[in-house]
Amino acid sequence: MEPDNSNVRGMGSLAGGHKDDWGTTGAYAYVLYRLMWDRDVSMDEVTRDFCAIHFGEEAADIMASAYRLTAGAYKYGLHVEPISYGSFNSFTNMRVNIFTVEGYPAIDNGKGHLNFLRRMYLRCDPWRKETLRSMEQGLDAAREIRERVEEAGPLIEDKELAAAVSNRAAMTFGLINTNLHYMDTVFAFFDYWDEGNEKNRDALEESLNVFDLARNAFAATPNFGYQLDGVDVLRDNAHRLLDDREEAMRRQETTPDEKGLERIIAEQQQRYEEILKERSDDLLKLGLFEVLVDGQDMLEVKGDGYKLIPIKWDAGHAYVAEITAALPEESGTVILKNIESRPMHPFVLEQPSPENEYTVRIYLNDLPGGQDWMKFELYYLSDSPKSLGIEVPWGGDRF
């Protein structure tokens, strides 16, 4: 798209597509450039030409008909209309390849996300039938796309390409199917939460069974790469609600809200600073980390290796990860020294133990808005967290 000797060099920045890209970005780029020289060209013609280039003349008409269905599939299958009213972000339920999760999902028993889903429920409930009917329209389009792609498959000479586009169509169907049953289960969940009668319980059980099947089929699709955090928080809490409604409600009522959790975390961080001063001669330095965070991430350190796992929003990037000593394979305590970060600062979510194969997990939460740096050091003491006064208060039956 950008030959060296061209007076349109630089136009690629408008789309970013590659000439061999038959996916969304490539299609967008092709439409953009066609309209630059013929603004009145029909979209049917543009779509067919694009498909002929990538899939061959024999498959072009069928593939073009599939491509023309994609706008409706995504518009109706992914967009939950009532929750976008008055909101800058019209897709609060998902972002790129993530079903977004609110709150502090690793430590709050899903409380923050359930509060978010409650707001979705209240927004959509007056238009419940219309909301689900619209999403079903998107699912019907995704199903038809999948059928047309399968019909075109034998007509595409490049069998690897045919398999790839078939996989993409299956992924699209799985995504929209999961999203539809996500919303259906949100309605059934809060119906049963608010009114614990047998009718509502049966409705939740039925919705959850279908939701589980949709989610698992989506996750089993080859090349699956979505994060289902928000989906799984709802599923976990829905199963708990079905198993024991009173206990599930008690668990949520006794879990601190975000302010309460932030207060507990701040107390832990204050104790880190005290231990760093009190035990400075006994500390084993494990390493220095500098991570760019936009949302929430988990840093896992085991032995002399580490992993950075995204939890919410864009994945973090560890620009500095200097391991100076391996984390011992024994129960002990990791102390975090904050060097630079905006509140809330990084904190130790889980200390090394036999149960987690001597892994320490550091929770990184870059509060809105925008991304920022977190720079910190990790130190090790052989003392137990309890003896140091920093026993982790979450993750068990505490809440």
pLDDT of residue 20: 83
Closest to 362 in 3D by CA, of 331, 397, 318: 318
> Which ranges of the chain does DSSP label H, i.e. alpha helix?
24-37, 43-55, 57-67, 70-78, 111-124, 128-152, 159-194, 198-219, 229-243, 245-254, 258-278, 385-388
pLDDT of residue 362: 92
3-state secondary structure of 395: coil
pLDDT by position in tens, the chain (length 399): 455 665 555 555 555 567 788 988 888 888 888 888 888 999 999 999 999 999 999 999 999 999 999 999 999 999 898 887 776 667 778 877 888 888 877 788 899 999 999 999 999 999 999 999 999 999 999 999 999 999 999 999 999 999 999 999 999 999 999 999 999 999 999 999 999 999 999 999 999 999 999 999 999 999 998 889 899 999 999 999 999 999 999 999 988 888 888 888 888 899 999 999 999 999 999 999 999 998 888 899 999 999 998 877 778 899 999 999 999 999 899 999 999 988 788 999 889 999 889 999 999 988 766 788 999 999 999 999 989 988 766 644 444
Bridging pattern class, strands 347-350 and 333-340? unpaired
Distances (CA, A) of 15 to 4, 12, 77, 156, 351: 18, 6, 24, 26, 46
Residue that is written with structure tokens 């798209």 in the block: 1
CA angle, corner 326, sides to 390 and 268, nearest 5? Answer: 15
Angle, helices 159-194 vs 43-55, to 10°: value is 120
| Cα 260 from Cα 215, distance rounded (Å) | 32
Q: How many residues does the chain have?
A: 399
| Cα 120 from Cα 125, distance rounded (Å) | 8
pLDDT of residue 92: 79
Helix (H) or strand (E) holding 374: strand 372-381
The DSSP output letter for 68 is T
Contact 191, 106 (CB under 8 A): no
CA angle, corner 148, sides to 213 and 68, nearest 5? Answer: 100
pLDDT of residue 125: 95
| Other residues' Cβ atoms within 10 Å of the Cβ of residue 10 | 9
DSSP string, 178-207: HHHHHHHHHHHHHHHHH---HHHHHHHHHH
State if pTM tops 0.85.
no
| Cα 309 from Cα 299, distance rounded (Å) | 6
